[in-house]
Amino acid sequence: MRTGLFLTGSSGVLTRLKLPFQLFAGGPLGSGKQWYSWIHQADWIGAVLYLLGNADASGIYNLTAQEPVTNAEFGRTLAWIMRRPYLIPAPSFALRLALGKMSTMVLDGQRVIPTRLQAAGFPFQFKKLHEALENLLKQ
* Span 53-109, pLDDT tens digits: 998 889 999 999 999 999 999 999 999 999 999 999 988 988 888 778 878 877 888
- The whole-angstrom separation of Cα 85 and Cα 93 is 23
Q: Are 22 and 74 in contact (CB under 8 A)?
A: no
Which H or E run includes 52? helix 41-52
For 2, the 3-state DSSP assignment is: strand
At 126, the pLDDT band (50, 70, 90 cuts) reads very high
Among 28-37, 46-55, 60-69, 104-113, which is the least confidently predicted range?
104-113
State the fold for domain 2-132. Rossmann fold (3.40.50)
Beta strands in 5-134 (DSSP E): 5-7, 35-36, 38-40, 62-63, 69-70
Closest CA to 29 of 78, 64, 81: 78
What are the domain boundaries of the chain? 2-132
